Amino acid sequence: MTFMAGNATKDAAMKLRALVVEAAAEKLGVPAERLLTAYRRVYDRDDPSKFVTFTDAAVLAESTHGTLVAAGSYKPPKGIGGTFKGAGVGPSPAYSYQATVAEVSVDVETGTLTVDKLTTAHDCGRALNPANVEGQVEGSAYMGYGEIVVEEQVFRGGLHKKPSLLDYKLPTSLDTPALEAIVVESVDAEGPFGAKEAGEGPLNPVIPAIANAVYDAIGVRFDETPITAEKILDALGLRDNRRVTKDRIGPDGLGDGKADPKRALRRLGATTDARERKTVGGLRPPATD
């Protein structure tokens, strides 16, 4: 979004700027290439005492051109990441980088997972608005935390089984752990004013970071989300009287490194569908079209 929409917006803004600077140059009697725009002014680079306010320059431009309108566009350079076909293909000329440190505690008696703190560092290119970037990083960390702790996408017959916030639980502000955002700046030559992105990128490392922290705490790998108390107790052998411990929780066949992951996921889906068809007493629900 920042790269594509940001560059397109910049392109449109530069076209509008040219109209405003042209009007100011005519008013001040100086070449347009000598004019700078800053501090709410359009002024002569060689003689800053010659200036017109940006508002007045915009009024002058409107008196000449009418309502100031411009359209901008941006297309990534060719040859980035190969040749793609089809709608929606937008290869990015830049990549951002993230890292997350998760601090967690696990109650081995109840299976309760508590995420105490998330520290996320994100390379956003140039931070045009540092406060907004920090907010974006914290928001992404919150979303990743929700996905691995409480959120779960469950479908039946192609329909979501939890279609409202009453059923689909989200962490509240009181549930959210302490969040720390570290903004790592770099200047990307292709990005708008050197920026890259600060949207969905910081979410990516949060989920594996929490999963790794849980593994460090109790020695169990989780290959599926959310990591619930029930799954933790199952792994620790405390869910029933069998006392069978596990070192990995997830779809069968994903943990041994040998099975086909697609086949394992299909088998998991079939098992889930069969389980969801059952009701109390082992009765099937009535068939529907």
Collect all residues with Cβ–Cβ distance below 8 Å to 167 and sequence separation of at least 6: 161
For the stretch 105-123, what's the b/e string if a residue is b when 16 or more beta carbons lie within 10 angstroms of its beta carbon? ebeeeebebebeebbbbbb
Structural contact between residues 10 and 18, judged by C-beta atoms closer than 8 angstroms: no
Q: Which two tokens stand for residue 62?
A: 């409107």
If residue 181 lies in a helix (H) or strand (E), which one and from where to where?
Answer: strand 178-185
List 190, 200, 224, 276, catalytic entry: 200
Q: Report helix, strand or coil for 208.
A: helix
Q: Helices (H), strands (E): how many in the chain? A: 6, 10
Place of tokens 């405003």: 20
Tell me, yes or no, if 224 is annotated catalytic. Answer: no
Q: Which candidate, 217, 263, 262, 225, places its Cα nearest to that of 107?
A: 217
Active-site residues: which are they? 200
